[in-house]
Structure 1
Amino acid sequence: MPQAARTITQAFRGAVAQFPDRTAVTAPDGDLTYRELDARSDALAGTLLRAGARRGSPVTLLTPRRTDLVVGMLGILKAGAAYLPIDPEYPPARIAWTVRDSGCELAVVTAGTAHLLTGAHQCPDVRVVTLDEVPAAPAGTPAPGPAGDGHDLAYVLYTSGSTGDPKGVLVEQHSVLRLFDVVRQHLAFDEHDVWSMFHSAAFDFSVWEIWGPLLSGGRLLIVPREVARAPQAFRELLRTQGVTVLSQTPSAFHGLVAADQRAGADPGALRLVILGGEALDVASLRPWTDRYGTDRPRLVNMYGITEATVHASYRPLRRADLDRHGPSPIGSPLADLTFHLLADDGTPPADGEPGELYIEGPGLARGYLGRPELEAERFVVHVGADGVPHRRLRTGDRVVALPEGGYGYLGRVDDQLKIRGHRVEPGEIEAVLAGHDEVRRAVVVPHDHGDADVRLIAYVQSAAAPESLAAELAKRAEELLPGHLCPSRYITLTDLPLTDNGKVDKGRLPAPPSAAGPAVPAGGTQGTAERIAAIWRSVLDVPHVGDDEDFFSLGGTSLTLVRMFARVNEEFATDLDITVLIGGATVGALTPHVDAALAQRAGHLTETP
């Protein structure tokens, strides 16, 4: 069958026919075989068709990281529609805005997430299908869904928008299928592979993680959210579940490498580590390569962008790369894509000179949902020397052709950031902050706290009292923005420094002052909670930490959490694992675990003759 004619569901059914009793999905709520996943998604598709699902229409998918997530995706596709995944951890206002902006008329939810659409921020025009009420298999022969082909829409993913609103990227099914067809020649994945799904379904890396195994007969391991935040626990999960294909942003892999260094050398069944989502500092991989080399598991860096269906290039990493200086190596474009570099004047740059990257080929998205002007700006038509028009994606990334072949990533031509793999448009955050009555202007910049722990700092121009305004802005951001877009600090200035052109001069913004205050001396007379709180203040660089304040709400990240835990274990001479905070990351939750470890150690000392 021609590639453009195939659909994702047809490819999946091929895996079902070949491997019906193999495990397709392992999740916190259990396992599903290919046969069971096929039946459950057939039942959902029938329910959606009866509820009015239409070919090519987006359907909201609002489920936790469980088997329901995959059942929802497949059921929506089998009904001829496209899935729009929204992370249930997003603020209710953000969820409601996304549903309204997308024009979704249907939503697939669970009993535990339904309130996010029917509560205070309800979407009254959306018909809700609750997965808990859908049978495990259709009654009788499944009704056929609408006839479709590879040009049907597969999914809609919302990414950060520079003008203040996120934008929905429309990706067709053939673009997903050709990705795996092209990459299979490099990575040789098959039914024996176990792929981990580490990332949120709302992040495009998950497209790779989910469909990689399900279209080849492999097993998909859905990593629980709390384990994804705990590198030591994640490493153990990879080992015990026999994961063979691991996908990570460099920031997340940094935490995993640190956890691996504290344990015995054991890569488990890993054979492939795919790095992507943000610029890679190859030298940071040295602790890993010193242990395992670059062949088992193989290390591969893949550059990509949501508008080009996850991955657009391929670069196997070698030991020699660790000693090279220069841009992040992203390798060569995938076989069915073409890279073009253009200078500011629209002409190719001279050899060795950087340019903006344009991508051409069948991996390009259809465009943006309801954003025709932005679509025309980013998806441009170039008429070649043969007079044939070619569609190209203007990425906004600065890239250079390397002398040894392939390309190197240099950064952005605009203000867009990549933090822990998430696309961050400062303009979207700045628009939310500027919506506060006391804020005249806002600018958001990244700040590196060391060990790849990059956080967002917001500078606001205001005459309001800094402490109270910071609290109000933090609350506003939490209510309107996903966690990865919330600044960790808010610094109030009477005036923001400006360039001669009236733009904020980011180079003249003052360095963020330390807000942590004096640290508690190690081994002092303070109680456990006070000593832990002092460590949190230092690591998070905040002036106050209450017993019940959440670590992540205070501006913490997964990398910050690892640093904090190392400090706590050093302070108290304990060996606690991050997973003790699965029930909640607060000082109050951590204190009894530290006290218990200290009491256990004291008991052992008392019993020693």
Structure 2
Amino acid sequence: MAILKAGGAYVPLDPNSPAERLNYIINDAHIALCLAQPQCAAALDEAQCQVVNLDGKALLSQDLGLTLVLPEVLLSDPAYVIYTSGSTGAPKGVVQTHRNMARLFASAAEDFSFSNQDTWCLFHSYAFDFSVWEIWGALIHGGKLVIPTHHQTRDTAAFVELCQQHQLSVLNQTPSAFGVFAEHVVAHDISLPALRYVVFGGEALQTQHLQSWCQHPANAQTELINMYGITETTVHVTFAPIARQEIDQIHIGRALADQAVYILDAQLQPVPVGVAGEMYVTGAGLADGYLGREALSAERFIDNPHGVGTDCEKLYKTGDLGRHQRDGRIQFIGRMDDQVQIRGFRIELGEVTHQLSSITHVDSAVVIARQSQGTQVLHAYLKLEHSVDEQQHTQEIERIKREAAAFLPAYMVPEQMTLMQDWPLTVNGKIDKKALPQPGEGVSGSKQVAPSTETECQLRDIWAELLDYDGTRISVNQSFFELGGHSLSLMKLVQRLHQVFNVSVSIKEAIEHAQIDQLAQLLDKKVLDLQLSEINEAELDEVEF
């Protein structure tokens, strides 16, 4: 808010991103001033800009004077620049103006009834454009914005408790995150009477994300809204209320009042109703282009052949496939290229592939997005310059993940990795992606070890269910992540452990005990500790050791 009032444009930098990426963005955007909390400033040592340390006590001790004159801010001035993944291996900055941000909420006012009584939540990273909707949606309407800790956004029970404590009324979620949230709410029969809206965005909404919520009678007052949008079009483009009885027919609705969506063929001509084509967005909300990328801007923001004589002179080429339904609503089909959305973050698979291929001893890499337990995850296949023993696969994968995390943000580091001796090829000599092995195949060279205790057997069955994996092929010394587990399925695992064993296991503990044999030992100890704690002193005196 201070940056905008001072007439500047803000460029959000996620402190969880690698220092190399942060410094690239700082230099690419020519940032002159960076505001950083004390614990984050260290990551910016190499940046060529002035860093202001946001130490509260130090700032309050300064005499700022009373003659400060704020500049006039024009609607055409840049408000923010958010960086998204780039296919060439470097992120690209999307420039949005004050006009675009202001008209987003003016346009949405026709479909929502936000007020100063609403409580919103900044659930997502402020480097993700969904945060623009979360932050300014609350403040523009005079409402309250709750900022959860990183732990609260990852611990479903803690986040639900936060929602209850602050009477959250507007919740914005990627569908994958909501699926876990809904399972917890339904499993514990939790009522959230203050919750008026759940707004979905960031990735494709599917029926399975809503089933448990809509089959539960509680929270019927909550409106479910599906919105399609892109960073280049100022967060949201369409509005689609989802009725509980219609969750088997998910759509993205119609364009907001000041925008339009064309579905065109390769010649930029409209396709018939029911026929798939590429989605193009026009109207208010289109970005000014990519910062310092004139050629790319001209490629993606093209002249509108259907906008002669209107204010809609440009079309944004989304790369998304969609079709018009007979009722005028739009059905989202998917991507046309190698760009995917993982839990709301738009990712160019080419960038991830490029960065992984540059890691020491990696000869080549293939990265795909795989559907896993109701959400998309990144799976990397890697061929090393020199073969390694199968017993060393796990160590090599951990090394590659550590090196990747040094220059890729966490959401772009593939959660699943498989080492390949050779690539399967098509008849044309290209890598046959359809022939790549499934998670858990060929990852570990160790001999399969069957469960030997009741706890291990229970865990094997839980893993088989959560990972949709053949339980007879699960070894107790295999990692949860090797078999296809990811952060969202890990949260489901923690919930299931509490239901089955009646003990609490933290996310950190589950990561540190990622094998069945390790987790079984931890659970047995926790169960024993719980039993001992329930024995009162009188009973304890009668126990013979």
The alignment's TM-score, normalised by the length of structure 1, stands at 0.77
What aligned pairs does 1:100-499 form with structure 2 within 5 A after superposition? Answer: 100-118=27-45, 122-123=46-47, 125-132=48-55, 133-135=58-60, 139-141=64-66, 143-292=68-217, 296-324=221-249, 328-384=250-306, 386=308, 390-450=313-373, 452-466=374-388, 467=393, 469-499=396-426
Which residue number corresponds to residue 523 of structure 1? Answer: 454
CA distance in 1 between counterparts of 2:98 and 2:194 reads 31
1:15 aligned partner: none
How far residue 532 of structure 1 moved from its aligned partner, in angstroms, is: 8.6
Q: Secondary structure at the match of 1:115?
A: helix
Judged with a 3 Å threshold, the aligned counterparts in structure 2 of structure 1 residues 178 and 145 are, in CA distance, closer, same or farther, namely same
| CA deviation map 1:550-604 (0-9, x unaligned) | x999996431222321453366x2242x6x4579953399987973553232342
**CA distances 1:307-353 after superposition (whole Å, capped 9, x unpaired):** 111111000011231243xxx40000000001111112322112210
Could you tell me which runs of 5 or more consecutive residues in structure 1 were left unpaired when the two chains were aligned: 1-73
Instruction: State the shift of 1:487 in Å.
Output: 1.2
> What is the CA–CA distance in structure 2 between the aligned matches of 1:224 and 1:126, rounded to whole Å?
28
What amino acid sits opposite 1:586 in the alignment?
E
Following TM superposition, by how much is the alpha carbon of 1:462 offset from its aligned partner in structure 2, in angstroms?
3.3
- Which residue matches 2:16? 89
CA distance, structure 1, for counterparts of residue 496 and residue 218 of structure 2:
29
**Cα distance in 1, alignment partners of residues 287 and 329 from structure 2:** 23
Q: How far off its partner does 1:518 sit? A: 3.5
SS at match of 2:252: strand
Judge conservation of contact 2:118–2:168 (CA < 8 Å) in 1.
yes
- Native 8 Å contact 1:460 1:496 kept in 2: no
Indicate the larger mover: 581-590 or 357-366.
581-590
Query: Which residue number in structure 2 is paired with residue 602 of structure 1?
Result: 532
TM-aligned CA deviation for residue 479 of structure 1: 0.9
Please state whether the residue corresponding to 2:327 is helix, strand or coil: coil
Alpha-carbon distance in 1 for matches of 2:410, 2:482: 8
Q: What are the within-5 Å matches in structure 2 for residues 554-573 of structure 1?
A: 557-569=486-498, 573=501
Q: State the distance in 2 between where 1:179 and 1:545 align.
A: 51
Q: Which runs of 5+ in 2 are unaligned?
A: none
Contact 1:87–1:200 (Cα < 8 Å) also in 2:
yes
Q: Deviations over 1:284-311 (max 9, x none)?
A: 3122112247851111101111111111
Q: What is the CA distance between 1:520 and its match in structure 2?
A: 3.8
Alignment partners' CA distance in 1, 2:32 and 2:307: 45
Give deviations 1:385-410, integer Å, cap 9, x for gaps. 74667111111100100112210000
Secondary structure at 1:399 match in 2: strand
State the Cα deviation string for residues 245-293 of structure 1 (Å, max 9, x = none): 0000000000101111221240231011101111111343122112247
Deviations 1:119-166 (A, max 9, x none): xxx22x211111113228974435123322111111111111112111
Counterpart Cα distance in 2 of 1:247 and 1:553? 31
Question: What number of residue pairs does the alignment pair up?
Answer: 518
Among the aligned pairs, what percent are the same residue?
35
CA change 1:96–1:535 in 2 (3 A) is: farther
Amino acid of the structure 2 residue aligned with 1:433 = L
Is the 1:170–1:366 Cα contact (8 Å) retained in structure 2?
A: yes
Give the Cα–Cα distance (whole angstroms) in 1 for the partners of residues 209 and 509 of structure 2.
32
Deviations 1:336-380 (A, max 9, x none): 001111112322112210110100011111111121121111111
Q: Is the 8 A contact 1:265 1:291 kept in 2?
A: no
Counterpart code for 2:454: G
Give, in angstroms, the shift of residue 474 of structure 1: 1.6
DSSP-derived class of the 1:457 partner:
strand
Q: TM (normalized to structure 2)?
A: 0.86
Cα distance change, pair 545–103 in 1 and its aligned pair in 2 (3 A): farther
